[in-house]
Amino acid sequence: MSSAPKPAEEPEANPIAGYYSPYHRFTADEWARFRADTPLTLTADEISRLRSLDDPINLDEVRRIYLSLSRLLSTHVEASQRLFRQRNRFLSLPDGSKTPFIIGIAGSVAVGKSTTARVLKELMARWPSSPKVDLITTDGFLYPNAVLQREDMMQRKGFPESYDIGQILRFLSAIKAGEPNVKAPRYSHLTYDVLPDDYTLVDRPDILIFEGINVLQSRALPADGKIVPIVSDFFDFSIYIDAAEEHIHHWYVQRFMKLRETAFRDPTSFFKKYAAIDEEAARAVAEGLWENINLKNLRQNILPTRPRADIILGKGRNHFIETVSLRKL
């Protein structure tokens, strides 16, 4: 009879390592053993449709990482539901009410957040209990380009100040309150802008996945001690997709160059001008966008939120997850 996998040894230099680390850390193979009898409910064709451009995720990766993660999330959702019912009884509230379980997914651009979110959504929706699972990204909560241009913030698009945080907080508050048909604004990556008067309706899901680069961002606390919520206050569980800076840099430039040959060629694309320049010039543009915008955002805002996550999925050079760090209870 095999014993349960133990956390992997970590060098002291690792940012989430050491004797005092709040995380258990596992290799991908160790983590895969926690799958137990969780069934694989996705096909290779479905995985192909769910993955983002240049993300090599396949069925083996789903077996190694996502089935164990799905099983873990199932235990958290069940425990949360039990606690919610117990609290309702304690407060003498109606048993019929419910509050959605919200999962936040954070990480840099080009690191694979969207793929992770979509795969988890499909796996969780196929649990035996058949929960209703919705997925919303924070892109729609960006200020419109007209506002960013007026405020001279286009070069800081994706930074915390470029989002309508008040709108995000109102949205999540309504979701947690169990309100029906809550509006989430939609975003077009083709036009690189929020779509005016275009919304996704979120109608009382059992689980909501909320994905975005800065969803674990904290904020300055008021000196007078007033209650000021932050986005992650509404999360029941949080995931950070991690990778070395040089790997994310490579993936970002590689994706930009592929988009130049595909989506950027659409006449309505915000980036269509980059499809018309030669490869060397386009690569220089991609490097400049990385260096002057995305790298700064990663170092200043995104990476500092990593220790706030409940679980950190660490990717290697090949874009596959190599380590899983789970916060200790």
User: Is residue 7 a part of any domain in this protein?
Assistant: no
Q: Is residue 18 part of a domain?
A: no
Q: Is residue 294 part of a domain?
A: yes
How do 182-188 and 193-202 pair as beta strands? antiparallel
E strand map for 94-143: 101-107, 133-137
296: Cα separation from own chain's centroid: 19
Does the pTM surpass 0.85? The reply is: yes
What CATH number should be reported for the domain holding residue 131? Answer: 3.40.50.300
Rounded distance, CA 179 to CA 150, Å? 34
Does residue 14 form part of some domain? no
Is the pLDDT at 12 greater than 80? The verdict is no
pLDDT in tens, 279-318: 999 999 999 999 999 999 999 999 999 999 999 999 999 9
CA 260, chain centre distance (Å): 25
How many other CB atoms are found less than 10 A from the CB of residue 24? 17
Q: Output 263 or 15, whichever has higher pLDDT.
A: 263
Residue 16 has pLDDT above 70, yes or no: no
Q: Does a structural domain hold residue 171?
A: yes
Binned at pLDDT 50, 70 and 90, residue 94 comes out as confident
104-115 pLDDT per residue, tens: 999 999 999 999
Q: How far apart are CA 97 and CA 88, in angstroms?
A: 9
Q: Per-residue pLDDT tens for 139-148?
A: 999 999 999 9
pLDDT computed for residue 13 by the predictor: 44
Cβ–Cβ under 8 Å, residues 232 and 215: yes
| 6 belongs to a structural domain | no
Question: What was the pLDDT predicted at 239?
Answer: 98
Residue 11 predicted with pLDDT over 90: no
Average pLDDT in the chain? 93
User: Does residue 81 sit within a domain?
Assistant: yes
For residue 86, report the phi and psi dihedrals to the nearest 5 degrees.
-65, -40
Match 């192909």 to its residue by tokens: 48
Residue 10 falls inside a structural domain: no
Number of domains in the chain: 1
Cα-to-chain-centroid distance, residue 235: 12
Alpha helices in 198-320 (DSSP H): 245-261, 279-289, 295-297
8 Å CB contact between 207 and 129:
no
Q: For residue 5, what pLDDT band results from cuts at 50, 70 and 90? A: low
Query: Which pLDDT score, from 0 to 100, does residue 95 have?
Result: 72
Residue 237 has pLDDT above 90, yes or no: yes
* Residue 195 clears pLDDT 70, i.e. is over it: yes
Domain that holds residue 263: 23-327
Residue 136's pLDDT band (cuts 50, 70, 90): very high
| Whole-number percent of the chain with pLDDT over 70 | 94
